[in-house]
Structure 1
């Protein structure tokens, strides 16, 4: 199951289709918490204005998920794809592998690793998993803070990984940063400044000029201009 980019659920490389939007919405929300959520919390976040009708919508969404997943897997009616334990609903890890769960695990590992190689591996995994904005295309209010948090974590992972790479493999660091401005955040001046700094330290001054032009073009897409940090970085190498 993928929640970076549009929501996708696949069984044996075949995408699973759901009959109701509520089923997809519930599945997306449950994917954000490996430990699950209470029914009250799910209803409050998905259908806050529905009152008692929210309880019925929750049960209908659960039936939709169970039905769609049983058809896709060929498993019988006794198998539950949304389980309930201690008043919490969750997706059983025995049936689901969610990129969000692996992203969170990699984030923890990156912050607790006791060596650079372990930290580098975890940071790289975070970037590999981040294939696009969290639940791209959904505008649910509950999505927005999670989307921003995931973006911030991905950007932090990029900057940390590039810093680890730049001393021994500056070209590898440039590759990491270039990937990030193309796939994660094309308007992050921090990333563009890191690119110019490494290029400048390698003596690639034409590349610094090109990068600054690219940054200017990207920012113009959102009616913005390079800030003071970007200009200082550029002028450090280009007089």
Structure 2
């Protein structure tokens, strides 16, 4: 800014301007939206709207074509924030008893990382709460397939115990 002069790069209402051109940064809005959402309780409709807005703003991983070391931590940070937003939209639905919507949002988390056993367990529990015990059992078997195919492992003990508990209820 010093080299270009004081009027070339200006800040007006939180927006940078180069000359007379106005710039909008999706990353900045993404971060600010998440920060505002974090301040609100899950039952607040505005929280859900903000989390949803953050999900909508995330249009892909940050600078995927850039192989510079400085980009990697930012890329990972934004990916984590996206996951946080997805989980919080699911949580907002769950808190209001909108179980089918909560299940669908948890499925979106799994579309990003299908090996998240904690999310698989959450989906199983939501199925049970929604009166869909057979779907919970089917989901468990799918988890077993995924873990076996991807990692060659069995589910965690906590997942097995949850399945046993669900399967034992008649």
TM over 0.5: yes
Contact 1:126 1:154 in 2 (8 A): yes
Aligned to 2:144: 216
Can you list the C-alpha shifts for 1:61-116, whole angstroms capped at 9, x where unaligned?
Answer: xxxxxxxxxxxxxxxxxxxxxx757xxxx964954333322211111110123771
Residue number among 12, 26, 45 corresponding to 1:99 in the alignment: 26
Query: Which residues of 2 match residues 131-170 of structure 1 at below 5 A?
Result: 131-166=59-94, 167-170=96-99
Q: How many residues align?
A: 156
Aligned to 2:5: none
Provide closer, same or farther for how the CA distance between residues 202 and 155 of structure 1 changes in structure 2, counting only shifts above 3 A: same
Shift of 1:217: 3.5
Unaligned runs of 5+ in 1: 1-82
Kindly report the root-mean-square deviation, in angstroms, between the aligned alpha carbons of the 2 structures. Answer: 3.3
Aligned to 2:166: 237
Residue number among 100, 107, 110 corresponding to 2:37 in the alignment: 110
Counterpart CA distance in 1 for 2:50 and 2:77 is 18
Provide closer, same or farther for how the CA distance between residues 142 and 213 of structure 1 changes in structure 2, counting only shifts above 3 A: farther
Counterpart CA distance in 2 for 1:109 and 1:101 is 12
Counterpart CA distance in 2 for 1:230 and 1:149 is 28
Residue number among 117, 123, 126 corresponding to 2:54 in the alignment: 126
Aligned to 1:192: 120
Contact 1:159 1:191 in 2 (8 A): no
Which protein has greater RCO, CA pairs closer than 8 Å, 6+ apart? 1
Contact 1:209 1:234 in 2 (8 A): yes
Contact 1:192 1:215 in 2 (8 A): yes
Counterpart CA distance in 1 for 2:67 and 2:151 is 20
Structure-1-length-normalised TM-score: 0.54
Note if 1:205 corresponds to 2:133.
yes
Counterpart CA distance in 2 for 1:139 and 1:215 is 34
Q: Bigger shift: 138-147 or 198-207?
A: 138-147
Unaligned runs of 5+ in 2: 1-7
Structure-2-length-normalised TM-score: 0.72
Contact 2:127 2:135 in 1 (8 A): yes
Residue number among 168, 173, 179 corresponding to 2:102 in the alignment: 173
